[in-house]
Structure 1
Amino acid sequence: MSSRVFERPRCPRCNLPLHLCLCAEIPRVETRTRIILLQHVVETWKKSNTGRVAALALANSRLLTFGTRDEPLDTAVLSEPGTWLLFPDGPTAPPDAPAPRQLVVLDASWSQARRMTQRIPVLRTLPRLVLPPPAPGTLRLREPTHPSGMSTLDAIARAVAVLDGPEMAAPLERLAALRVQRIAECGTLN
């Protein structure tokens, strides 16, 4: 008898198991603020990854991968004027600063994100957009390891609400809630 675990086939687009596929539900959201998703290589094929789904929904976004041996990260896009970093701590922008033209979002676990800010010097120089912690009772798949922790999709929805308005964020919030609901009803990510 084989000890291999049965893994259900996954959607090649959203990377969720086919029975949980969200592709038909992914909205097209046109934000004023460009979102640069900087994804840790370990997150690339995780079924729990929400950065990929966010990139599919955001018309004004770009997905970059950090940590691949074959392709060094081109940090030029991260150095463009008007770039901020979505991060729970660090130097925040002054209250009278103009809104960012683009926002870098780290798609990684908390420990990976912290190491990315240490290993990519330009990230340490960017003003930070700091979101308040999620409200108690927020629907989640698991408890975060950082008090302000949330999924990448949830964080982007909250940042879009701050930068582009709640009506622009609403489709992303619905998508995040639908993802959690489907996975919770099924009870697994396999």
Structure 2
Amino acid sequence: MNSPSSSRPGRCAQCQRPLARCLCPLIPSIEAACPVLILQHHSEARHALNTARLAYLGLQGTALWVGEHFEDLEARLAQARQPVLLFPGPEANVVESVPQDEKPDLIVVPDGTWRKARLILHSNPALQELPRWLLPEGEVSRYRLRKAPDPQAVSTLEAIVRVMQIMEPGRDFSPLLRPFEHLIEEQIQAMGLDTYQRNYPTST
């Protein structure tokens, strides 16, 4: 499990973006509706669009673990009374509202491509014992720079924002998406609009 605060020369120690394009001024500090544990596949940690890190930085009460097999996971799950896994599956319950007495005290979120997220589940059998939550169908993902097999697939950050909003509908968690949207626009500008439209024709 790597430290989420590790950085590279010439990059911000927090958001890990190049210093000239640091996202930190756009990242809010919002109290989570429930503690969140993000299990990020190690291959995602240096991805240019690292939305798990944006969630970790902007949402108080979030932990970010990087790896594939997590030795401390069982101990962390044992500390929780009602942990849930935010990941689709045949026994997953669509979460549309959460009564106060049914609130979990830990939401575990695997982060990576579908294949890598499933590798995390396979490598950590304790996750397979958790009740699963599935987000209801909603808005199309704003993650316009990654092709997903399912039009309802969303980024890790978007999934976390949606589940927080479901748990506490009276609060606004949308500021967490500001750095994400800025980063996407920056990437589109860098590649050029023509190139973007050729590669992602259904995103415009």
Q: TM-score, normalised by structure 2?
A: 0.75
Contact 2:49 2:183 survives alignment (8 Å): no
Write the deviation string for residues 74-95 of structure 1: whole angstroms up to 9, x where unpaired: 4221342211111122423598
Which amino acid is 2:33 matched to? R
Question: Map of 1:169-188 to 2, 5 A cutoff?
Answer: 169-187=173-191
Q: 1:22 to 1:143 in 2, by over 3 A?
A: same
Confirm or deny that 1:168 pairs with 2:172. yes
Q: 1:17 to 1:166 in 2, by over 3 A?
A: farther
Per-residue deviation at 1:42? 1.5
Question: Map of 1:5-84 to 2, 5 A cutoff?
Answer: 9-67=10-68, 72-79=71-78, 80-84=80-84
Which deviates more, 108-117 or 44-53? 44-53
Per-residue deviation at 1:24? 1.0
Write the deviation string for residues 96-117 of structure 1: whole angstroms up to 9, x where unpaired: 7812111111111110101211
Question: Distance between the aligned counterparts of 1:50 and 1:139, measured in 2?
Answer: 10
Gaps of 5+ in 1: 1-7
Per-residue deviation at 1:143? 1.7
Q: 1:137 to 1:156 in 2, by over 3 A?
A: closer
Question: Map of 1:91-170 to 2, 5 A cutoff?
Answer: 91-93=91-93, 98-136=102-140, 138=142, 140-165=144-169, 167-170=171-174
Which amino acid is 2:164 matched to? V
Which deviates more, 41-50 or 132-141? 132-141
Question: Distance between the aligned counterparts of 2:102 and 2:127, measured in 1?
Answer: 19
Question: Distance between the aligned counterparts of 1:94 and 1:141, measured in 2?
Answer: 27
Gaps of 5+ in 2: 1-8, 193-204
> Percent identity among equivalent residues?
31
Question: Distance between the aligned counterparts of 2:108 and 2:155, measured in 1?
Answer: 15
Cα RMSD (Å):
2.7
SS of residue paired to 1:33: strand
Contact 2:26 2:178 survives alignment (8 Å): no
Per-residue deviation at 1:72? 3.4
SS of residue paired to 1:85: strand
Per-residue deviation at 1:26? 0.5
Q: TM-score, normalised by structure 1?
A: 0.80
More strand by share: 2
